[in-house]
Amino acid sequence: MDKLIINGGTPLHGQIQASGAKNAVLPIMAATLLAEGIFHIHNVPDLRDVKTMAYLLRIIGAKVDYEHNTLTIDTSNCSFFEAPYELVKTMRASIYVLGPLLARFGEAKVSLPGGCAIGARPVDLHLKGLSKLGACVVLEKGYIQASANQMAGCTINLDVPSVGATGNLLMAAVLTTGETTISNAAREPDVVALAEFLVKMGARIEGIGTAVLKIKGAAKLNAVDFEIVPDRIEAGTFMIAAAITGGEVEITKCNPRHVDSLTAKLREAGVLVEEGKESITCKSTRQRPLPVNITTSEYPGFPTDLQAQWMALMCLAGGSSIITDTIFFDRFTHTAELRRLGAKIELNENTAFVGGVESLNGAPVMSTDLRASACLVLAGLAARGCTEVHRIYHLDRGYERIEAKLKKLGADISRQDGGL
């Protein structure tokens, strides 16, 4: 398995361009199943998860080509309505085909996603909502067997503003007769992008970007072209890279509004953040960042997907900080690896108490999930000496050419084929 070799200590300087958002492109790829025709989707990042979703769409019968960050998807001949365990176990987002398959074909068989390094990750809200719309949902031998002869619009109240459940139910509702209301809906930019894609296809959705979505079912939707929004989590990761290495980095082709919560915290930590129309520049102004507490919450709160990266930064702060994750209580597997680099962190349930240290020292560390990998890369960039980040297949799921982008900023980083 591949690993990254990082010789830390170099302040990063320069400019990189954000790629398209992984968490927007995955549901949008699934949403193409709602219409028959040829879609061209632009600004699609070259990621493992995109390849996995493309593979799943091909299993269902779509033709999928990918070239120069554009996906061409032809859904004219879909005829197999199953997402197999072998595939779903590698990517939880496969669950996104459930809503579209039910809405367009009236049947779907999707493997239950297993747990992962950041917790159990149930799908009960997806299934409850689909049942409320009139689908018959049965769990059998690890699979969700769903069928729907005639779904009807209704009101769905989500217990938590789940990104996945909001997306799945939105995709089920757009072809469902009558009016559906989804309240306590997720407001993440990825959900907004999905809703905008569906509207461009001919769906009738009101309240986009708010916690109450009202959908009037359409008889038919159309294949369209679309451009994926910039990845706010990638942009945030590079903002923190500038801060942790004591450098100055401009991230272009991004939406500064989407990282407001991180910008506020970086400014509190003493980092200079300048916002352009479609760019953001982060400049370190202190030897060590000031300690700043965070508690993750749903958008527009501080994103759980930047919690691990923030922890890396706080490991080097000039004081102690507290990091609480209210979205995923188990999302702290990066803590043990950071301690191997010399970090001082105590855990209590879903709260980490981080004691800032003067410096971290390079060592071999192991990735456990996508954002933990990013955290360890950031820590390695700041640590003295050499850090090896192992199992970086996690990283390749969600960051396009990350070592090339970091090299462009002056990082001493290289990928080594791990052989086995």
Q: Which residues bind ligand EPZ (CB under 6 A)?
A: 22-23, 26, 92-93, 121-126, 160, 162-165, 186, 190, 304-305, 327-328, 370-371, 398
Of 257, 193, 148, nearest to 30 (Cα)? Answer: 193
Minimum Å gap between C-beta 307 and ligand EPZ is 9
Q: Which is nearer to ligand EPZ, 81 or 299 (CB)?
A: 299
Give the bridge partners for 386, in sequence order.
Answer: 7
CB atoms within 10 A of CB 139: 11
Of 186, 82, 170, nearest to 133 (Cα)? Answer: 170
Minimum Å gap between C-beta 95 and ligand EPZ is 8
Tell me how far apart the alpha carbons of residues 45 and 48 are, in angstroms, rounded to a whole number: 9
User: Which of 78, 116, 154, 386 is flagged as catalytic?
Assistant: 116
Dihedral of CA 16/17/21/26: which sign? negative
Minimum Å gap between C-beta 133 and ligand EPZ is 15
Minimum Å gap between C-beta 43 and ligand EPZ is 17
Q: Which is nearer to ligand EPZ, 1 or 120 (CB)?
A: 120
Tell me how far apart the alpha carbons of residues 45 and 34 are, in angstroms, rounded to a whole number: 22
* Three-state DSSP class for residue 374: helix
CB atoms within 10 A of CB 220: 11
Of all residues in the shown chain, the one whose CB is closest to ligand EPZ is 164
Cα-based torsion angle of the residue sequence 99, 100, 101, 105 in order, rounded to the nearest 10 degrees: 120
Q: Which is nearer to ligand EPZ, 100 or 289 (CB)?
A: 100
Minimum Å gap between C-beta 387 and ligand EPZ is 21
Minimum Å gap between C-beta 165 and ligand EPZ is 5
Tell me how far apart the alpha carbons of residues 96 and 113 are, in angstroms, rounded to a whole number: 11
Tell me how far apart the alpha carbons of residues 150 and 217 are, in angstroms, rounded to a whole number: 12
Q: Which is nearer to ligand EPZ, 275 or 330 (CB)?
A: 330
116 is a catalytic site residue: yes
CB atoms within 10 A of CB 135: 24
Query: How many angstroms separate the Cα of 316 from the Cα of each of 72, 266, 335?
Result: 45, 14, 14
Dihedral of CA 213/214/217/221: which sign? negative
* Peptide bond preceding 100 in cis form (omega within 30 of 0): no
Minimum Å gap between C-beta 347 and ligand EPZ is 18
| Sheet of strand 225-227, all strands in order from the earlier edge strand to the far edge | 63-67, 70-74, 38-42, 225-227
Tell me how far apart the alpha carbons of residues 355 and 346 are, in angstroms, rounded to a whole number: 8
Residue with tokens 């929004």: 229
Helix locations, 146-259, DSSP H: 163-173, 189-200, 232-245
Q: Which is nearer to ligand EPZ, 22 or 288 (CB)?
A: 22
Q: Which is nearer to ligand EPZ, 160 or 264 (CB)?
A: 160
Q: Which is nearer to ligand EPZ, 56 or 383 (CB)?
A: 56
Task: Supply the residues annotated as catalytic.
Answer: 116
